[in-house]
Chains A and B, each alone.
Chain A
Amino acid sequence: MRGTRYGPGVLTRFANVSDPIPVAGGGLLSRRALLKGAMVMGAGAALPATAANEHLGAAMAWQKTPGRPPTGYGNPSRFESAVTRTTYNRYGAIALGNGGSFTPLERLRGTITPNGLHFERHHQGVPDIDPAKHRLVVHGLVRRPLRFSIDALGRYPMTSTTAFIECAGNSFPNTNDKPPQVTCGEIHGLVSCSEWTGVPLAMLLEEAGVRTDAKWIVAEGADAVSMHRSIPIEKARDDALVALYQNGERLRPEQGYPVRLLLPGWEGNMSVKWLHRLELVTAPVQARDETSHYTDALPDGRALQFTFEMGVKSVITQPSPGWMLQGPGYYDISGLAWSGAGHVARVDVSADGGRTWAQAELLETAQPFAFTRFRLPWRWDGGPVRLMSRAMDEREQIQPTRAEWLQRYGAKQRYHYHAIQTWQVDDMGEVSNAY
C-alpha cells in the first residue's frame, strides 16, 4: 500500500525551504531534498498567532449572509474575471472571423484547459450549427459510403483521451526580430489541453469498408470556408478520434460543435472542427491550407509540406512576463511541456541563461500527447537572471535553441516554432521576454 500522498514532511519533499541544496546556478534547488529542518520551518510558518477566531466579530461578511442558491451552469468567481483569452484578428473589419484567441497559460495551473479558455483559431468564424441537421459523411474510396447523424454517433462505443491541440502557428510572435513584450499566453497560448471523448475514426472507416487504394482522407469542416486537410490513412487508423465531448461536456461551438476530428500530437489545423465530410482518396488533394499555408519555408526558398507532428516544447508559465517577483526568496517554478511524439521524458530548467541545468520534477498527471506539468524549487537572490526550460520527449528529441530553430528555416517561417523560451528577471523582479 502506498503511504500518505502529502502528509508530514511535505514541505521538505516539495519545497526544500530550510537548507537548500543548490543543483544548478542561479538559485535552482533540488526537486526532492531530504532535510529535517524543513518540517520545523513549515510548522512555524503555518499558523500566525493572530489567525484564530478570538471573537465572532472577526468573521467575514460572507459568513454572516446566506450564500446564493445553486445555478444551472456554473461560472468562475467574479474575482477571476481577468482570466480571459486574448483575442486577435488577421485582417480587421473585412474578415472578423479570421483570427483567434490565446489561452492565458500563465493564469492556469494543472494540465487541463477549462473549456471557455481553450484557444481558438478560425479562418472564417464560428458557425452556428444545428446538430439535428448536421451529418458526417464518409465517402470516396469506400465500399459503402455512409452518413452519420449526431444521434447515431452518440450510440457508438466511445473512448476518452487527454490531448493537447496546438496551432501549427503557435508561438509565432517569437519569430519576430525583437522579443515581443506580451504575456506567456499571448506568445505560446495557441495550445490547450483537454480530455476529448468520442468514437475512434477507425471504427467508422471499418464500417464504410476502406478500399485498398485509399491512402489519404480529406477531412472537411462545415464552416464558411469549408476548411479541409488531407490526412494520411495511417494516422486515421492509429489514434484519430471523432470527438463529441470536451472535458465531459459537448464540444464548445468554437471547438467544433457538434463534432470535430482529433489527431493527437499533430498540427491543430488538421483536427478539423465542425467535421462534416471525410473523403477517402489516393493522394493529398493539395488544399489551400496544405500549400499556401501550413507549409514550412526552407532557407533555399523551397518549402516543406505535410510536416504534421508538433515538436517537443516547454515553457515556464510561473513566473512569466507580467509578474513582479516580490523580493528575494523562495519561488516555485512551474511550467508546461508537451510533444507531438507522445510522452515528455524530461524537462530541465536553467536559471543562468543555459550555462547550467537542473532536472525538473514531472507531476503525476503526465500522459502522452497531453500537457505535462513540471516544477522546480528556486531561491531568487534578487539579481538579474535568465530562466529557461528545455524539454526532451520519448524519442529523445530535445527542444532547440532559438538560433538553432531559425537556422533550419527560411525567412518569415511562422509555423512549428518550438524553441527554448527565455524569461529575463531583472533586479527589480520584473519578468520579460528575452532571446
Chain B
Amino acid sequence: MPTERSRIATLAAAVAIALCVANVSAAPDLGEPVSAADLVGLSITIGPDGNGLPPGRGTAIDGVDLYVDRCASCHGVRGQGRTGPALAGGAGTLAGKAPVRTVGSYWPHATTLFDYIRRAMPYDNPMSLTNEQVYQLTAYVLWLNGIVGRDESIDARTLPGVKMPNRAGFVNAWDARDRD
C-alpha cells in the first residue's frame, strides 16, 4: 500500500532521475545561484565549534552598561529574571523537585548564547546589536553565571572553548535510537 511517505519520496525520486538522466533541463531547476556575498548577514547560525562566529570581542565589564540599558528591564540586573526568564542561577537544581534551567545551569554550549542574543534579543528590538555588542553581552551573561571572569575576552577563538557546567548533561536520543 503506498503510504504518504512513499508518495513524497517517489515524486522526489522522479525529479532526481530527471536530473541524472542526461537531460538536466527536464528538471524544474528554478532556483537562482547564490554567491557568498548574498549570504552575508543572512547566514547567521553559529555552530558549537564556533563555525560562523564573526570578528570582534568583548568582556563582561565592557557589557555592563549595555546590559543594564537593553536587557535588565526584562531579565533583571543580575539575570535573576523579572518579566522575562532568568538568565543565571539554578546550579545544582536539575535533578531536584524544582529544577531551574538557565544559561548557567542547563545550556550545554556557550556558542548558543551568542547565536541566540544576536538573532533574537533584545526581544523588543531583535537584530539591533553589533557583533561587538553581542560578544560583550555574551561575556556578561556568562560572567553572571560565574563561568568566565569579568575581564576575560570572549571572541571567535575563546567562545567555543568556554566550559559550560552542564556540558555533559545531555543524551543525544537521535544517535541512540534503534535503527530498524
Query: Which residues of A approach B to under 8 Å, CB–CB?
Result: 91-95, 123-124, 137-139, 144-149, 152-153, 155-157, 159, 161-163, 200-204, 206-208, 218, 220, 224-226, 228, 232, 237-241, 264, 277, 279, 281, 283, 285-288, 291-292, 295-308, 342, 367-369, 410-412
Contacts and interface: CB of A to CB of B under 8 A. Distances in A.
Contact of B43 (A139, A203, A297, A412): A139
B8 A200 contact: yes
B108 A145 contact: no
Contacts of A302: 94, 169-171
17 contacts: A124-B120, A144-B33, A202-B8, A202-B9, A207-B29, A228-B45, A228-B119, A239-B5, A283-B47, A285-B45, A286-B111, A288-B116, A291-B107, A291-B108, A291-B112, A297-B99, A410-B95
Contact of A291 (B19, B73, B109): B109
B28 interface: yes
A90 to B, nearest CB: 9
Nearest to B100: A412
B28 A156 contact: yes
Given A206-B12, A303-B170, 6 more contacts: A91-B84, A225-B120, A285-B45, A288-B115, A304-B171, A411-B99
B110 to A, nearest CB: 10
B169 to A, nearest CB: 5
Contacts of A281: 45, 47
Interface string B64-85: 0000000001100000000111
B161 to A, nearest CB: 15
Nearest to A218: B45
Given A297-B94, A300-B95, A306-B172, A292 B112 contact: yes
Contacts of A218: 45
Contact of A147 (B11, B31, B170, B171): B31
Nearest to A220: B45
Contact of B126 (A124, A206, A286): A124
Contacts of B32: 146-149
Contacts of B174: 232, 305-308
B22 interface: no
B126 A224 contact: yes
A153 B33 CA distance: 15
Contacts of A161: 4, 7-8
- Which 9 pairs between the two chains have the least Cβ-Cβ distance? A301-B95, A146-B31, A202-B12, A306-B174, A301-B94, A152-B30, A225-B120, A145-B34, A200-B12
B169 A303 contact: yes
Given A94-B83, A207-B19, A239-B4, A299 B44 contact: no
B47 A286 contact: yes
A165 B55 CA distance: 40
Interface of B: 3-5, 7-9, 11-16, 19, 27-35, 38-39, 42-48, 73-74, 83-85, 94-99, 101, 103, 106-109, 111-112, 115-116, 119-120, 123-124, 126-127, 169-175
Nearest to B35: A145
B109 A204 contact: no
B42 to A, nearest CB: 7
Contacts of A203: 11-12, 15-16, 28
Contacts of B5: 238-239, 264, 342, 368-369
A145 B99 contact: no
Contacts of B124: 94
Nearest to A302: B169
B83 to A, nearest CB: 5
A157 B170 CA distance: 40
Contact of B123 (A124, A286, A410): A124
A307 B173 contact: yes
Contacts of B4: 161-163, 239, 264, 367-369
Contacts of A226: 44, 119-120, 126-127
Contacts of A155: 28, 30
A342 B38 contact: no
Nearest to A123: B120
Contacts of A91: 83-85
A307 to B, nearest CB: 5
A220 B9 CA distance: 23
Nearest to A281: B47
A286 B108 contact: yes
Nearest to B17: A206
A93 B123 CA distance: 12
B85 to A, nearest CB: 8
Contacts of B8: 159, 161, 200, 202, 238-241
Contacts of B84: 91, 94-95
Nearest to B93: A301
A220 B45 CA distance: 9
B94 A410 contact: yes
A159 B33 CA distance: 25
B116 A285 contact: no
A146 B30 CA distance: 9
A152 B99 contact: no
B39 A306 contact: no
B115 to A, nearest CB: 7
A367 to B, nearest CB: 7
Contact of A301 (B34, B44, B99): B99
